[in-house]
């Protein structure tokens, strides 16, 4: 599952552009998970601010 830390996010769209699933979207001023996410973690790597985290549930 992808956790978005809105307090850290800078609304820059970097994660949107690298997501292979086109799951993320910047709505006017906030980031939102709009479609199915495969928890690959690429967006979390690319984020300049560390606002994304893939958490694996037990």
Task: Point out which residues bind another protein (CB under 8 A).
Answer: 10-20, 22, 25-29, 42, 45-50
28's tokens: 């006017």
Instruction: Pick one of another protein, ligand SF4, none as the site partner of residue 35 (Cβ within 5 to 8 A by kind).
Output: none
For residues 45 and 15, the answer to whether their CB atoms sit within 8 Å is no
For residues 43 and 21, the answer to whether their CB atoms sit within 8 Å is no
25 binding ligand SF4? (CB under 6 A): no
Figure out which of the listed residues 7, 21, 29, 53 binds ligand SF4, where binding follows CB under 6 A.
21
Residue 1 C-beta: closest distance to ligand SF4, Å: 9
For residues 53 and 44, the answer to whether their CB atoms sit within 8 Å is yes
């Amino acid at each position: 599952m992808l956790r978005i830390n809105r307090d850290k996010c800078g609304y820059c769209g970097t994660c949107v552009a690298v997501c292979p699933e086109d799951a993320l979207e910047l709505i006017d001023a906030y980031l939102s998970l709009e479609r199915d996410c495969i928890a690959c973690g690429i967006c979390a790597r690319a984020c300049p601010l560390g606002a994304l985290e893939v958490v694996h549930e037990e």
